[in-house]
Amino acid sequence: GDAGELSALDALVGQEGVVAEVRSRLEAARVGASGGEDAHVLFFYGYPGTGKTYLAELIATAAHGRAAPPHYRKFAMQNYRTDEDLWKLVSPPCGIKGEGAFAALFAGAHGEGREKGEGRGARAASAPVGPVVVFDEIEEARRDFMTTALVNAIDHRGFVEYTLKRADGSDGCDTRHAPTAGAIFVLTSNCFLDELAEVWRRHAAGGRPHADAYEATRAEMERRIFTDAIPCSRADGTPSPFAAGKMRDRMRGNAFPFLPLSGEQMAAAFEMQLERRANHYEDENGVSLHWTRDFARLAMPAPSPAASASAASDGGESVRKRIDVLMRLDSHSVERLYASAASRCRPRRLEALILHTRAGTPAAEPICAGGDRAEGDAEEQRAAPTSAPPQRHHSLGGEARPLGGRSGGGNSGGGGGSPEPAAGRFARESVPERVLDAEGEARLARLRLEGEAALAAARQAHRAEVEGLRRELAEAREVLWGWEMSRAWIGAAALASLAIALLSSSWLPWA
C-alpha cells in the first residue's frame, strides 16, 4: 500500500508519552534501524475509551496510508475461546477446517511459503513495516494461544506456523513457518485499572510535570505487571494475560498505560471531530461550520466532588462514546442541529451553521443563502429546552495538547500554525472562523440581537395587519347590517302597498 505520514498520529488527543514512543519506533523501522528481523509488539492497557484501538488504527494509517486489510487486522479475543473458533484464528491441524486468518496474513491466502517473502496480503520482503495486527482485550485470549501462536509470533525472528496439504497429493500435510519480521502487533487490555489509578495519582501529585509523572507511572506499573505478576483484576480474580513467564519476558519494555483524559483534552478531542465534520460539510455540502468554545466544552466533565471521587474508580465514560453522543445520538447533536437548520432554510440553501450553547444546551444559528438567518430560528431558539445537557462523565487529569485542522482552532501537533481557510465559497465578512474568538462571540450576539429585532418587527407588523383586518371586518359587518335593514324596509313597504291596494279594490263594488 501507499506509505502514510507520521503526522497521522497527531489525531490522538492525550497519551503524549505513548504517541512519542510509537512515533520513534515507526521512524526507526522506516529507515531500517530496527534490524528487520523481529516483529514490533506494543501492549496498550488502561482506561476504556481512551484511544488504545484508535492509536492502532493510526499506526496503520501512518505506516500504510490506511487502516484496512491487508495492512490492518483486528481480532477480538473473546471470539476465539473454543477449539473450533480458535482454528478461525490460527492455522488448524491437518484435516481440520479453519481459515486461520492470523496465519493467512503472513502465509498468504493460497498457502504459499513466506520464507522468500511470498504470499498475498502480507509484507513484501523489502518493506520496512509489515501489517498492523491488533489483539483486542488480550485478557480474553486462551492460554494456549498466548503461549504458542502469539509468543512464537513476537519472539526473536518470530514466525507463524501453518499447515499445507502435500503438493504430490499424498496423505498428510506439511508444516511451514512464515516470518513475522516487520509486523506490528498491538495488544490491548482494560486490565490493571485499580493499580494504575493508585500509581498515577501518587506520581501526579504535587504539580509534578506530566511527562515525568507518566514515565514514573509506566516504570512502576511495568514492575508490578511483569515482576510482581499482579492479576488483571483484584476484584474478580481475573488472572494476568501474561501469567506465563516467557510472555512476561518478551513484553518487558513494551507496555504503555493509557490515562483518562483531562477535561481540556476531552474538549480538544471533540474539536478534532468537529474539524473533520466541518471539512466534510464544506467539501460535500457547501456548508461552513463554526462553533464557540463553550460548545466544545460540552465534552468536559462536570466540576463536582462526586465527579472527582468516581474518576479514579471507573475511568469515566468512553471518550469516543461521549463524542458520539454529542455528534449524532443526542436530541441536540451536531447532526440533528444541522438537519433542523437545513430544513428551516428551505427552499433556500443552508450556507453556514454556528454551533453554540443556550443555558447549557447545544443550540445553532443557521445562516441561509443570501446572508439571512433561518425563518423562525429566533423563536425556536427561545423555546429550546433549558434543562441540563446530557449526562457527563468523569475523568482524571492530564495536559491538553494543541489542536490541528485545516482551519480554525489552533496549531498542529508539529507546532506550526494551521493553514488559513481557503478564500472563496464562504469568504463573506459575516461568517466567522470555525472556532469563534471574542470577536466571533460578539458577532454571534449581534446576530441574535438582529434576529430578535427582526422577529419583534415582524410581530409588530403582523399585529398591525391583524388590526387592519379587524377594522375592515367591522366595516363590512356595518355595510351588511345596513343592507339587511334596507331589504327589510323595502319588503315592509311593498307589503303595505299591496295591502292598501287590496283594501281599495274590495270597496269598489260598494262605491
Give the three-state DSSP class for 172: coil
DSSP string covering 188-236, please? EE---HHHHHHHHHHHHGGG--HHHHHHHHHHHHHHHHHTS---S-TTT
Mean pLDDT along residues 498-508? 72
> Which residues, listed in sequence order, are joined to residue 406 by a DSSP beta bridge?
none
Dist CA 3 CA 55 (whole Å): 17
233 pLDDT more than 50: yes
pTM of the model: 0.65
> Which residues, listed in sequence order, are joined to residue 177 by a DSSP beta bridge?
161
In percent, the amount of the chain with pLDDT more than 70 equals: 74
pLDDT at site 439 = 61
- Given pLDDT bands bounded at 50, 70 and 90, which one contains residue 339? very high
pLDDT-wise least confident of 43-57, 201-215, 433-447: 433-447
333 pLDDT more than 90: yes
- The 8-class DSSP code of residue 332 comes to T
- Given pLDDT bands bounded at 50, 70 and 90, which one contains residue 401? very low
Q: Which pairs count as long-range contacts for 57-61, CB under 8 Å and 24+ apart, including other chains?
A: 58/8, 58/9, 58/11, 58/12, 59/9, 59/22, 59/26, 59/132, 59/184, 59/186, 60/4, 60/131, 60/132, 61/4, 61/8
Three-class secondary structure assignment of 353-369: EEEEEECCEEEEEEEEC
Which residue from 178, 163, 165, 150 is spatially nearest to 250, judged by alpha carbons?
A: 150
318 pLDDT more than 70: no
97 pLDDT more than 60: yes
Helices (H) and strands (E) in the chain, counts: 16, 10
Higher pLDDT, 474 or 412: 474
Dist CA 293 CA 39 (whole Å): 43
Cβ atoms 145, 83 nearer than 8 A:
no
Residue indicated by cell numbers 490493571: 192
Dist CA 236 CA 14 (whole Å): 30
Higher pLDDT, 431 or 65: 65
Per-chain mean pLDDT for the chain = 77
